[in-house]
Structures are given as structure tokens and as C-alpha cells.
Amino acid sequence: MVSRSYYKVGGSLKANHPTYVFRKADQELLEKLVSKNYSCVFNSRQMGKSSLRIQTMKSLKKQGIKCVSIDLTILGSYVSQEEWYLGLAYQILVGFDLEIELDFDIFWKQEKIKTKSQNLLALFDLILEKYLGKDIVIFIDEIDSLINLEFKDDFFALIRLCYNLRAENDNYNRLTFCLLGVATPSDLIEDKTRTPFNITYLVRLTGFTFEESKAALLPGLTDNLQCAESILKQILHWTGGQPFLTQKLCRVVQQKNNVNNINIDELVKESILDNWEFQDQPEHLKTIRNRLLNDETKAIQLLGLYQEVLFSNTKLSYSSVKVDNSLGQMQLRLSGIVGIKRDYLQVYNPIYEYIFNSAWVKNELSKLRPYAAKMNAWVESNYNPDYLLHGETLEQVIKWSDNHKLSSIDYQFITASQQLFIKQEILEKEAKIKANILLKKAIKRSRNLVLTGGIFSFFLVISSVIFYQYQRTQANLFQTKVNTIQQSYNAEQQFTSQPLEGLLSGIKAGESLENLVNNSSVIEQYQSFSPILVLLKILSEIKIFHQVYTNIENVRNIQFSPQGNLIAVSRDHDLIILSKSGKIIQRFSLEIEDEDSKDSIKTLQWSKKTQNLLIITTKGKIKFWDQNSDKLKLLTSYKSDILKAKISSDGQTIAITTSQNFIESSEVLEVWKLDKTLKKELSFQTSGVTTLNISPDNLTIAVGKENGTIQLLDSEGRLKKILSNHENFITKIRFSPDNQMIATGSHDGIIKIWGMDGTLKETLEDHQTSIIDIRFHPQGKLIASSSQDQTIKVWKQEENSSTILSNYNNAGTHFDFSPDGKTLVSGIPSKLIKFWRLNQGALPNITLSDSIVNLDFDQKNQQIIISDISGTISYFSLLNNSVKKVKLNQQEFMRSQINKEKDIIATFHEEIIKLWTLKGKLITEITTNHWSILSLTFHPKEEIIAIGTDQGKIELLDFQGNSINVMEIETQTDWITSLSFHPKKNIIASGNKNGIINLWTTEGKLIKSLNNHQQDILDLTFSPDGQYLVSASKDTTLNLWTVKGERIKTLSGHTKDINQVVFNPNSSIIASGDAAGVIKLWDKEGKSLITLKASETSINSLRFTEDGLNLISGDAQGVVKVWPLQIQTLLNQSCRWLDDYWLTHPQQLKEDYSRCTSLIP
């Protein structure tokens, strides 16, 4: 008889608690920590993270591994940095029983150790020495309590440093960290100039399954229930396996009388759903609600996204919202209300779906949206434009939306309102034109008046004519501008489903703007920026560069020739040969003997040995095509129909299956050697074969089966290994070119990667429908896969896991890589063959291995000079896309500044500054008297640098390190986060962590303090003409000031910290970049010109080229991009991207895109 308090609702479970459910995550986390992998468990609240930690610590201790757990909530959130580190260090000492042995006060106050993070590192050294030979794991729980502390970046950087020290100090190979909390990896290090926190293995904590939970949870039910298993399954259905709710329902059932007649549906209604806010004890559902609603600026986005998931669940019985790891989706998942099922978001359980239903969502959104009534009426009326916003209301909503994250339907509503406003403007202009036509007629009638009415009448008529012409010109310009905006909008919409056609439409919009500005290169005078924005978006994302129409629908085979100059495409009895540019060279059709026995192409393969194309037909004929011939030639015939067939890559081995005695359930697998005739190598009976393949060395034959297994046979037909981890029948097998790996795909959309020894390396689960084809890239660690929904995915193989590099939608199901690995070709159902570039974008870009810190542009040599966080200088040439690298040192440095005019770069970390030539030669090393240097800038003319510190000091130094002057803020505690010299006057501007800007003379006199920001100043700069100062802040705003310190305007529109701000060379345009990867361009009056989603991560550096026609960005993932801002340049690059397309579409080029003609090579 188990206790009536068998189940525990809320709080952590003790290590020996009988209801602890062991899940996949238990084994996974234990294995990773035993293997010394830094790990993290990031999930919503009440998913069992702390209980998992307790159980894992128990298991680790049994294996002799020392463990300590730190709950960060006990350290507090309103303490100083010193108090926090002091508390953490003491907790670690107590956990390792060292608080008595070590005189902690003396240790912590050692003068030779300057920073608290260094103290903590010294403590780790001591612990590792104390427990020499033993492995140590430190668990850090509730890390979300650290997220809002200003110094959290330093702490997580310290953990990463411990990881990096493994390469230098073997002791650190014994130290492992495990982080737990309600967070995402991107939350940990917010400073985007630092390397992202990417060293941990993410353990996914899922809900209970019946198989996992029955051993722990059934005992509390079995004493009173005859059908305990059925009851538990019903409980899990309602809770989705959510641990808190599952324990709660189990306890309710256990404590019920007359339990054999229990109705779980009624019980859920009584104990949870009815009056849920009252019954939510301990709190669980309120926690989810609060997580969704607490941040008003994000609540609409979260609720809108949840609404999409909810609608999918209700209407479609499955979710159509695919996991994309966007910030909004991650925050929604951390609320706990949704989970992941087969890479799609799904409402976590029926309880949440009932309580947080569509009516609840609609009600909450109505409270949050200032335009709720109008928008609801618009949607319910099937988008009747009468309900759209207009006038001052529309302006207020647009301004309000700048500071809020909204859902897709909100943005659609606001966009539709803007479009209606534009149309109304057009109608008003047209009305004026009609009125002026009447005026023109009146002018005609009054010509006699000119002759008889004197000078006054003459000038009256002339003025009317001039006024009419002016009005008509203005109306025409407005109409052209509106047409240009509409063309741009159409191009962007088309790009989503038809990217190449979207680019063609974007070119048309660009041509309209080019005509509108009369080929002007003065960017700030452009009447519309929509074509520039849409072309930048398309050119930064587009991969398809060519497509050709064929008569082959639903391609079954497509393959490049070994030399890459030809492509074979087939379906049924049709075969075409294309050149690599898409020109059709040959067409073939198999002979049709009679309608009842049509032959069709089963498989094809180019022979690497002979360069001939081999095909096998369903009727057992083996044919080949010689590139010098215009006919298919019969090589030999097989005696019966072919079920499955595969030709080896060298064209010398064939594997086939046939039915035995015409009974498909009984098959014969045969392997033949092919020379001029067929020579049978082996033959044996089998069944359920779904696919075949032959390894590149011809020594292994892989056979996929209906039961989800893959048999690996040697060349003699002996069974070497059975791969058995799929749950559905096998649809594709592919060997890697180096013969080291096997990729297998199944009907349920799962791909598995295996070693040749049968070891399962990885499972890829992003496809939603059956896998059709898989290909390994000819070079490098890429795998491409296609599924029945016409989606092709390219995966980048990492050390721990593969990530999706590219998604190609509407791309078809059969594809191939070119031998040089630069192109992917695919066939789609609408008889199109599409060509995609893999590693070359339409805009110049380069991806480095580390976060970008600073960059500059060398106009003379047309190269970008880039410094990254690892201490490497890279030179990216725009002339030939080549990259040269110079390694400055082996130590990580946090910050740098480049001055190409002086051929110098300054790197700074803690108290040390190093000056280098741009070729990597060390000029001097300066050790300052400051604890930490946070900012540095070069004097525009003199050999002087200014540095800002974490103690509120600004010091001017010469290049030898001699101090020239020191300026000090009165508080002496404020961080100097940004500095800028005036280009012409002896003035320096400093930005502080408290949002204050100070203007100083270079002699150290404070001129003025500017106070309009609410949070840290992250960047500031004077304009090149010396007339303006612009500041960027963590409060997501920019402020534009006169050089005297008078505020001109506050620029709003960013939603994340603004890390970078820069003027163009003639001081007419401002560019700003934020932590969300958004770049905005503004004119000097503060009007927003362009908003560009430039990166998925933080923009760390921005520079204009010296001619002002291009903007260069560098981000936290090491990506540097060049953004052309002149419409002529964008049109030229668009035309050149389609070089191959124009060759096969000359008429379209001539008639519709003649501007591109002169650019064709």
C-alpha cells in the first residue's frame, strides 16, 4: 500500500523520490557530463530541471565525480558586482567543503588579483589542485535570475574561458559546467562584440511518455484502480506529459473515492479547468499567462504567434507553424504553452488549449491593441477596407508600432492601411489634375482677354498656365513614385514563392526609380527607397540564378556528368541532356512497343571511367549514350522486369531486384559486373526491398527494407551489418564520396547519418514529409536532402550536430550537386529545371570564424579591413573575393580600432593597449594604470589616442604611451563606453554607461553634459563636416545633436540595443545597426529612409565606403556584407546575377530588360 502523499506537486524531487520519471534527457545529460561536455538544460518552468539536476548529481557522485550546485537566486539580483562574486565564490567553497581549510577573506583580497572574475578563476585553479585527479562538475541553476545583471556577460565569458583553457592547462579538462534555467543561449552573452556562448550541448527536456513514466507513476494508482494503465494514459493525454500537471492529476486521482468508476475528463474539468484561476495552486497556469503578458512590448507578437499555432491545432489537427528558432518562437516556447512536434510548434497539451483558447487570446489582444476594434472588424468582414486606419490615427499607430513587437496579422493590417492611404492620395492628385484641365480650357477661352485686357490679364493667364503645369508635373511624379512603391511591394511578395521572378520584378521597380531620379547618384535625394530596399533584400537572400523550361514533368532522375559540363534529366520514357548553362542539347524517348507495356527509365548514372551515360529501364534494357552520338545505344538486356536498380558511380557494377515468378513479395537481389556484357556476381532471395545503393569502392551494397532496416552486404553477398533505427520504411540510401558515411532517409521524413561500421552519428528531423533524395556534397561537410513537399534542405555538418544552411522551397524532389560543388540543380513538377548557387551570394560577403569587432574600407585597393575577436586581421578584396589573414596574437582580445590612414590598429584588453601595423607587426605595447579599458579612438590628425575606462576616466596618450591629459567624471564610477574626436576642433565627446554624453576640450575642460538617453551610450560619432553629433543607446534610440550640444531630434524605430552608428562621408545620411541585426538609414533631419534586416545576430560594426555609395556591416557571427545603396549598382548586380538566365531567354532580355544587355559577358 503506497502513501496517500505518494505524488509530489511542485518543487524539486529528492534523489530517491519514487515518482521521479527517468526520461531520455537523464541519460543524455549524464553521458555528456561524464564525457566532460559543457551542457545546458533550458526549458520553461516546472519541467523538472532541478529534479533532473539532483538525480544527475547522485549518479555522478556514484562514479566518483565531485559535484556542487549553485542556485543563483540566493545571491540576489540587487547586489553589487563584488558582492555577487563574493557570494558565488563562497557557495562554491562550501559545496566543495573548503570553507574551513581556506582562509577565504585573505584569499579574496589578494592585491595581485585585480578583477573579481580573476579571483573566481584563481579559485577554480585551487579547487582543481585540491581534487587533483578527480573530475568536477559545477551545476548553475536558475541562470535566468542573472539575465538582467549588468555584469552577466563577464561571468559567462569566464565560463567560456575555462572551456578554452582546456587547450593550455590539462587540469581544466577535469572541470565541467552545467547550466539550467528559463533562457536561451543568446541570452547569456548580450555584448555582441564578444564571442557568442556556443560551447554547451543543449539537452532537450521533454514531457513524460507512458513508457517512461509507468514504472514511477503507476504504483500510486494500482492500489485503487483495476485499469491503472488506462487511467495513466488518459492523464498523459490531458497533460501532454507536463511533469507538474501530471503529478497533480495523479494525486487527484489517487485521493478520489470510488476510483474504479472515475471519469478522467470530468475530473480534469472539476479539478483544473473550472474556475482555473482559483484552483491553480500551486501556481502553474498563471505562470504561463504572466510569461505571455508581462512584457507589453512583446505580448502582441507572442499571442499572435500562439494564435497561429492554436488555429492550426483546431482547424488542421496538426500545426503548420514551423520551428525557425526566431527570438519570438523561443520566447513562446519558454512560456511552456507550446512544444515541438516533428519540427513544428504545437500547443503543449489540451489543458492549455482549453484555458488559453481563441476567445482568451482575442480578449487579451483587444486589451493590448489600440486599434483592436477596427482590426477585428477588418478580419471578420473578410478584409473590408472600410475598417482600415487613416489620417492621424494611422500616424499614431505607426509610431506606436515602432516600439512594439507585433504579429504578422497586425503588420498586414497596418500595411493595408498605409496602402489605402497612398491610393487616396493618388485619387486626390487625379482630382486636382481634372480641375486643372478645366482651368486650361478657361485659359483658352480667355486668349482674347490677353489682347484686349492689358498687362494684368496677360500675367494672370501666364500664372495660371505655370500653376497648371507645375500641378500636373507634381501629380505625375507622385503617381510614378506610387507605382514604384507598388512594383517593389509586388516584387517582395513574389520573391517568397518565386524568387527568380521576384528578382525580375525587382529589376523593373529599380528601373522605374532610376528613371525617376534621372540616373542621379545623390542617394539622399531619391524620391523613393522601396526599390533599393527590395533589391537589397532579394540580392542578400537569393540562391536561384537560372531556370529553363523542359517538357519533362515530375523529374525522376537528374545528374551532372563527371566533368560538370552536362546534365541528364529523365522521367518515365523521356530523357534530355542539358549543357551546364541549361541549353537543351539532346532529347530522347524510349521506344513504345505497345500501350500496355510502356518502358520507362528506372535509374541513370554517368560513368566516371567512360564519361558515357548509362540507363536501366523497367523492361531490363541497359542503354548508354556516347557524347559524340545522337542516339541511345543498347548495351545489353536483362531477362525480366526490374523492380529496383542502382548503378555504381564508376558504371561498372549494377544491383537490381526482380520479382520471382512474377510474385512481388518474393524478390531476387542480383549484382552484375558490366563490361561489354553482363556478368552475374551474386544472386539470392530477399523481400521488402525499397531502395538500393552501391558504395564508391564497390565493396558494400546497401539494401533498404520496408521494415525500416538497412542491410549492408559485402561484394560476396554476406551480411556485414544491419542498421535498425528507423521507424518507417527506407526511401533513400546514399554513401559519402570518401566512403566514410552512409545517409539514409525514410517515409516519415527522418534522415540518419551512420558510420561505415554501423554507428549512428546523427538524426535529422526537419523534413515534414517522406524523404525522396539525399546527396553528399563533393567537397566539405554538406548534405542536401529533399522531401515530398518539394523542399530541399542543405545541412552543414558540425562536430556535435548538423544545422540547416539553406532552405530551397518549391525546388522539386530530385536534385544533384555539380562536381565543383558550387551549384545545385533540381527539377520541379511545372517542367522547370532550376539552378541554385551554394556559396556565392549576389552581394559581396564573407563569413569568418569569429565575431567581428571592427572594420574599415580601403578605397584605393578596394578591400575591407576586418578585425575579429580572436585577434585576426582579414583583408577581403572586392576585386576577386580573395581573403588574406594576419594573426596578431594568440590571446583573445575584446576590442579594437582600425585607422587605415595611419596604417595602424589598436587592440585593447583590460589595462593593456597594443598598437600594430596593418601587416601585423607590433609597434608598441602600453600598460596603463587603469583596471579596464572600455573604449578607444584615434585623433583624426595627430598621433594621439583617447581611452575610456570603467572608473569614469578619459586619458589622452601618444603612440608611445605617454600621458597627455586625463579627464575624470565626478562620480569616478561611471563607465566610459564610447569616445569620438571632433574632425576639426579640439573637442572630444564621451558616452557613459548612465546615458550621459559629455563634451570636453582636449585640454580636459568640460564644455557641456547632454542628457536625453535612458540607458547606456553604446556608440557616438561626429559627422565628417563637424556640424553634428549622433549618439546610439541601449534604450533603442538615437539622438541627433548640434556640435554645441543642442538636441535636434530623437530617432526611434529600433527595437534592440543600437550598437553602431556612423555618418556617410558628406554627412547627409546616418546608418545605425542594432543587436537584432537591423540596419536603419536616416537623413540628417531624422527621417527614416531604409530599414534592412541584415543579420540574424547583432550588428557589431558599420562603415560607409569613401564614396558613400556602399555600406559595410560586420556581425557577431563573423559575417561581413557589402550593401550597395545606389540604384544603378543594384541594377547592374541584379542583371549580372542572371547571366546564365539571359542566355536561354534572349527574347525576354531584348524586349523587357534591355538595360541588362550591355552587362552580359
CB atoms within 10 A of CB 223: 13
Cβ proximity of 795 and 539 under 8 Å: no
260 by Cβ neighbours in 10 Å (0-12 / 13-18 / 19+) ranks as exposed
How far apart, in Å, are the Cα atoms of 844 and each of 520, 540, 862, 1060? Answer: 23, 9, 12, 21
End-to-end, the C-alpha distance of the chain in Å comes to: 86
Q: Which amino acid is at 375?
A: M
Q: Report CA dihedral (303, 309, 311, 316) to the nearest 10 degrees.
A: 180
Boundaries of every domain in the chain: 24-205, 213-367, 408-543, 546-837, 1039-1125
Cβ proximity of 225 and 256 under 8 Å: no
CB atoms within 10 A of CB 584: 16
Can you give the C-alpha Rg of the chain in angstroms?
A: 34
Question: Exposed e or buried b for every residue in 632-656, given b needs 16+ CB within 10 A?
Answer: beebeebeeebbbbbbbbbbbbbbb
What are the beta bridge partners of residue 1091? 1080
C-alpha angle with apex 16: 13 to 19, nearest 5 degrees? 60
Cβ proximity of 730 and 736 under 8 Å: no
Q: 807: helix, coil or strand? A: strand
* Alpha carbons 1035 and 1012: distance in angstroms, whole number: 10
According to DSSP, residue 614 is labeled E
Grid cell at residue 888:
596578431
Cα dihedral sign, 450-455-461-462: positive
Average pLDDT of adjacent 10-residue blocks, the chain of 1161 residues: 77 87 91 91 86 92 91 75 82 77 67 63 82 85 78 82 83 91 72 62 88 89 75 92 91 75 87 88 89 84 86 55 73 85 83 91 88 87 86 81 77 80 67 57 45 42 47 58 76 84 91 79 71 89 90 86 93 89 88 61 89 90 87 82 88 85 67 77 83 93 94 90 91 94 93 93 87 90 88 79 69 90 88 85 84 88 88 88 81 71 85 87 89 90 91 91 83 80 94 92 92 93 96 94 93 92 94 94 87 89 93 92 92 93 89 85 69
- The distance from CA 834 to its chain's CA centroid, rounded to whole angstroms, is 25
205 by Cβ neighbours in 10 Å (0-12 / 13-18 / 19+) ranks as buried
- Reduced 3-state DSSP string for 1068-1106: CEEEEEECCCEEEEEECCCCEEEEEECCCCCEEEEEECC
Architecture of domain 24-205: 3-Layer(aba) Sandwich (3.40)
β-strand pairing of 566-571 with 557-560? antiparallel
What are the beta bridge partners of residue 1062? 1071
Going by C-alpha positions, the residue among 987, 928, 920 that lies closest to residue 955 is 928
Architecture of domain 1039-1125: Beta Barrel (2.40)
Q: Report CA dihedral (114, 116, 119, 124) to the nearest 10 degrees.
A: -150
Region of residue 639 (phi > 0: left; psi between -120 and 50: alpha; otherwise: beta): alpha
Cβ proximity of 609 and 655 under 8 Å: no
Cα dihedral sign, 706-707-709-713: negative
- Reduced 3-state DSSP string for 86-115: HHHHHHHHHHCCCCCCCCHHHHHCCCCCCC
Q: 165: helix, coil or strand? A: helix
**Strand runs labelled E in 695-798:** 700-705, 709-714, 719-724, 730-735, 741-746, 751-755, 760-764, 771-776, 782-787, 792-797
pTM above 0.75, yes or no: no
Instruction: Say whether 1039-1125 and 24-205 share the same fold.
Output: no
CATH superfamily of 546-837: YVTN repeat-like/Quinoprotein amine dehydrogenase (2.130.10.10)
* Alpha carbons 322 and 765: distance in angstroms, whole number: 12
| Widest pairwise Cα distance in the chain | 120
Cα dihedral sign, 9-14-16-21: positive
Residues 6+ apart with CB under 8 A from 517: 525, 526, 527, 1127
Helices 408-445 and 296-316 sit at what angle, rounded to 10 degrees? Answer: 100
Going by C-alpha positions, the residue among 559, 569, 570 that lies closest to residue 608 is 559
How far apart, in Å, are the Cα atoms of 26 and each of 55, 592, 763? Answer: 8, 61, 19
CB atoms within 10 A of CB 219: 14
pLDDT the model gives residue 729? 92
- The distance from CA 631 to its chain's CA centroid, rounded to whole angstroms, is 49
* Alpha carbons 608 and 1062: distance in angstroms, whole number: 55
Going by C-alpha positions, the residue among 497, 359, 482 that lies closest to residue 420 is 482
CB atoms within 10 A of CB 275: 9
What are the beta bridge partners of residue 685? 668
Grid cell at residue 659:
520479382
pLDDT the model gives residue 305? 86
